Structure 1
Amino acid sequence: MFDLSRLGAWRELPFFEQTLPDIETALAAETRLVLPPPDLVFNALERVQPDDVRVVILGQDPYHTPKKAHGLAFSITADFGGRLDSLGNIFKELESDLGLQRSRTQLDDWADQGVLLLNTILTVPQGTAKGHAKLGWQTLTDQILTRLADQPRAYLLWGGPAQKAAKAVEGENNFKLETAHPSPLSVHRGFFGSQPFSRTNAWLRRQGHRSINWGDPEAL
């Protein structure tokens, strides 16, 4: 079902031999439309290789509206045209934090700078959030985070599910920022005002890395 040829070093994770076949069997039996399309399910891993990851942002599962999800957590396809919800709040915090107004909803350029935009569940049936929560995708998340433990990285953990998934990530050598989720239901409980973008960039610079350009890619 899935083309794994573009995964690079991620392909070495045991998940792809031990767990993915059962997930593919379950997806083949799914009668509902599965999102995102198969060629975009592993988009986050295809865009940035393990050794190039500098920042990890964990989401929960893909958007369950057709043509909205494209395999990067929180990112929305450029031609979607609907409500931004969590992403809109992320952009509000970006403007408050760094004074940057971002209009491009696709976050490919973040990924290309070393930001792993990873959902802990990689597929969803249309119209049913967390509908594939029990397929076994979390095994991949666990293995990815273990693989990334080889050097310090920044982890932006927005909301309880992300914080639970990354519980084993130690916070002494890594930059680990845990806040409320940017969804409209929880954004005022600590996401607004948390300054994740400036704080991440400051930490990166202390590590000898360049900052992330969080604004529109034209500003690169």
Structure 2
Amino acid sequence: MADRLTTPLDAAFDAVPAGWRPVTEAFRGSAVGRSLIEFIDARVRAGAVVYPSEPLRALALTPLEAVRVVILGQDPYHGPGQAEGLAFSVPPGVKLPPSLRNIFNELQRDLGSPVAASGSLVCWAERGVLLLNAVLTVEASAPASHAKQGWEGLTDMLIDAVAAQPLPVAFLLWGAHARAKAGRVDVPGRPHRSWLANHPSPLSARRAPQPFIGCGHFSASAAFLAGAGRPIDWALQGAGPAGRAV
């Protein structure tokens, strides 16, 4: 299966672009980083199906200096053909997962623009939207199977690196795990803004007190970034119906 991890995890770290390299190399050289790499490599050698094939793809598509928006997910999709190394994104031709369907419907509700039949968010990543999961690998049919193995430490370091940038960045923090990162972003004197809501999952998208459906984060972040001279284009490629939000 082309979407599963088959190479040693060190190879993914070797391929990280220069701008992110100080962060990823510091993590890789740490005790937590080495432990994570040994754990992932051992699971692959044991025959576990680990997704995605490129765990650090978000960093390759969105250079540190180009980040305008951060969207933080939980962990990769755990079904075959779904995970492609970008939070919430699935390859073209793959059925839209419920959370992504709700993201597309909120985008349509908020901006009035057509959404895409394809669930690939590569176009966002290439425009400066860092689609980062808190945990960057998962085993087939076992959500959160690689949680608390060390990825969260790297995620925090990557968020801190973005928050240290001098240009304004919009952080869209959806769900309890993402909202918990707000303290790393909302630092006095920094130019960034964060918006918080429930996770777009059907289980929580409409729940109080911060429902995702109706949150208006796309228009709010676009206005914030436009005012800062860093406009973001939320349009999706291949316009088509997204389906009804739940």
Normalized against structure 1, the TM-score is what? 0.92
CA deviation map 1:176-204 (0-9, x unaligned): 10001100100112101111111110000
Query: Equivalences for 1:137-216 in 2 at 5 Å?
Result: 137-150=151-164, 151=166, 152-170=168-186, 173-189=191-207, 190-210=211-231, 212-216=232-236
| Pairing of 1:10-159 with structure 2 (within 5 A) | 10-13=20-23, 14-18=26-30, 19-30=32-43, 31=46, 32-37=48-53, 40-80=54-94, 82-103=95-116, 104-150=118-164, 151=166, 152-159=168-175
Identity across aligned pairs (percent)?
Answer: 39
Once the two structures are overlaid, the 10-residue window that deviates more, 27-36 or 123-132, is 27-36
Q: CA-atom RMSD, angstroms?
A: 1.6
Count of residues paired in the alignment = 215
Is contact 1:58-1:117 (8 Å) kept? Answer: yes
What's the secondary structure of 2:83's corresponding residue? coil
Is residue 141–residue 165 contact of structure 1 (8 Å, CA) maintained in 2? no
Q: Distance in 2 between matches of 1:218 and 1:204?
A: 24
SS in 2 for 1:118: strand
Secondary structure in structure 1 of the residue aligned to 2:183: coil
Equivalent residues of 2:58, 2:85 under 8 A apart? yes
- C-alpha separation in 2, matches of 1:160 and 1:6: 28
SS of match in other structure, 1:147:
helix
Q: Name the TM-score, length of structure 2 as normaliser.
A: 0.83
Deviation string, structure 1 residues 145-177 (Cα, Å, up to 9, x no partner): 111122231000001001113432116632110
CA contact (8 A) 1:10 1:50 kept: yes
Structure 1 CA distance, aligned partners of 2:187 and 2:92? Answer: 35
Question: 1:201 & 1:142 partners in 2: Cα distance?
Answer: 24
Task: Name the SS for the 1:29 alignment partner.
Answer: helix
TM superposition outliers: structure 1 runs of 4+ over 4 Å:
none
Q: Does the CA contact (< 8 Å) of 1:62 and 1:121 recur in 2?
A: yes
